[in-house]
Every structure is written in structure tokens, then in C-alpha cells.
Amino acid sequence: MIIVTGAAGFIGSCLISKLNQENFNFIIAVDDFSYPEKEANLAGKRVQERVDREVFFDWLDQNYHEVEFIFHIGARTDTTEFDRQIFEHLNVEYSKQIWHRCIQYQIPLVYASSAATYGLGELGYDDNESLIPQLKPLNPYGDSKNEFDIWALEQERKPFFWAGLKFFNVYGPNEYHKGRMASVIFHAFRQIKESGAMKLFRSHNPDFADGEQMRDFVYVKDLVEVCSFLMHHRRNSGIYNLGSGKARTFLDLVKNTFQALGLEPEISFIDTPADIRDKYQYFTQANMAKLRSIGYDRPFTSLEDGIADYVTNYLSKEDYL
């Protein structure tokens, strides 16, 4: 039995698809299932039981003896939400309860952290655990993820295997429901299909030309491969970056989206919204040496190949992974 929290969401549902491919069908899907727009993410997937996140701990206390592994992917991920109590409940306290039960019931754990913990990258993007208490996230979401990372590292008692994964800019199938928080590739596809053109945020940083802002974009199919590797590996506990390891510009991203649609690029620039301008990351790039050092040797999908697959096989068909 494998538990996936955030099961109806973007990454959680893609992870269930990967587990099903590996013939893991005894999946317990944990989420708030009251959002009909997420229902299609789980359609056709083999799930043993759905458990509402607010009754999950009671359920786990009754069924822990059957649980083999927990992937804690569920979180409030809205970087424009500034109600810290929401993050404290869903991202910090909820995660602590999972951690304690993984110790109590001897269950290995992989949980989702975030590259939002790195803030402006003043200390770089190295998953060096000694630097984590010094990081300065830019918003309450990043704060909540970093707060839990710090707390986990401080604990004397830990699950016998655990890993926190700092997800960088993830894109791919099953993010249709995410609205403003969906990937830039998703928004580019929609905008190009509707208008034949794409508007990008102008740079408000003299070190970066318009469209030359750089992010580490990681395809969700690569991300779930890493999750599968860690489930089988179960050694070398710790916090790991999970990106492609290669920063790419937004212009690269949009030009590849136009190419996947068979169209000539038509790109213009608009001001970055004032509410996120001072919290905007102009460069992110995961140092992936730590994950490689424990034996993960699969290549990461190039931005060109990832966009081509996403646009051609999913977005254009409104299909799901």
C-alpha cells in the first residue's frame, strides 16, 4: 500500500500514473476531493481508496500496518496567498503530523519541498543542508516549506528513510486546474492558441534583458522518476534539489512552444504585476550533484523535448498523464 497526498493535484496524479505503470495499484489517494476541476486528473487511474485529508490521520492510525510508503505531495502552493495561517496548517503542522506517524509506524517518507525556499538565490541553489536555516524565501509559501525543512533537520527522531525534494519549476500534464499557478508553458500554449502571440513579463532587473530571465524548468515525468527511484532506494536520507540542473530563458521556452505548434514566434512584453514584482526570481538553477551522488543516473528531459511532448501529446489533445 502506497499513500499519495495531494493525489488529485498536478504532481500527485502524475505520480500515481507512474506508480500504476510500475504495477503499484494499491494506492491510497489523500486530498480535498471537493474540487470537480481536479477530478479528471484521477480518471482511469488505479486507486484503492480515496481518503479526505482532514480524516487521513484517523484513517492512518487504523490502517498503518498495511502502509509501505508515503509520498507527501499535498500542500497549499499558491505563491500569491499571504494568509500565513493557511500555510501553517496545511504545509507545516500537517507535515509534522505525517512525520511523527512515519516514525511511530516505521513508514518511509518522501515529501515535497520547493525551490521557493531559495528566495533570490543569495546563497546559490545548492542543497547543502547546513545553509537551509539561512535561506530567505520571498513569500509565505516559500517560508512554510523552508520552516518544515528546518524543523525536519532539527529532529532527533526521524523516519528510518526520508527525503525532502526541492521542486524547481515543474511543468507537464495534469496542471489544467491550476489557474494562475500553472506553468509558463501551459499559459504560453493557451495564449498562443487564442491570439497567435505571447506576452512575457518585462525585466525590471538591469542584469537581465526582457525575456532573458532564467529558470530551471523540470518536466513532471522526470520528477516522478526521481520519486520512484527514492522509493526503491531507501537510503541516504536528506533534502535534495529536484530540477533539470540547467537554467533556460523564458524566450527559449516560448519559442519552443511556438515551434511545437508549428507557428512563427510573435512575442511582446508587459510589466510584471506589481504584487509579485519585488518577489520575482530572475534566475534559478538546481545543483543536482547531491542526487547524482547517491546513484540517480537517468538523464533529465531537455526543455525542447519536454515542451514538444507536452504540447503535442497532452495540451493539444487536452489529454492527461
List active site positions. Answer: 141, 178
> 3-state DSSP call for residue 218?
strand
**Sign of the C-alpha dihedral, residues 237, 153, 110, 186?**
negative
31 annotated binding-site participant: yes
Question: What nine digits make up the cell of 305?
Answer: 523535448
187 annotated binding-site participant: yes
75 annotated binding-site participant: yes
Nearest CA-CA partner of 231 in 151, 63, 111:
111
72 annotated binding-site participant: no
CA distance 241 to 65: 31
77 annotated binding-site participant: yes
169 annotated binding-site participant: yes
277 annotated binding-site participant: no
Nearest CA-CA partner of 8 in 39, 34, 36:
39
> 3-state DSSP call for residue 302?
coil
149 annotated binding-site participant: no
317 annotated binding-site participant: no
- Distance linking the first and last C-alpha atoms of the chain: 21
The answer to whether 240 and 161 are in contact (CB under 8 A) is no
43 annotated binding-site participant: no
145 annotated binding-site participant: yes
199 annotated binding-site participant: no
178 annotated binding-site participant: yes
Nearest CA-CA partner of 132 in 160, 156, 103, 164:
164
Amino acid at the residue 143: D
Question: What nine digits make up the cell of 198?
Answer: 505571447
Question: What nine digits make up the cell of 98?
Answer: 505525517
> 3-state DSSP call for residue 283?
strand
Residue ranges for the known binding site for substrate are 169, 180, 187, 201-204, 215, 280
List, as residue ranges, the binding site for NADP(+). Answer: 10-11, 31-32, 38, 53, 73-77, 145, 170, 178
Instruction: Point out the annotated binding site.
Output: 10-11, 31-32, 38, 53, 73-77, 145, 169-170, 178, 180, 187, 201-204, 215, 280
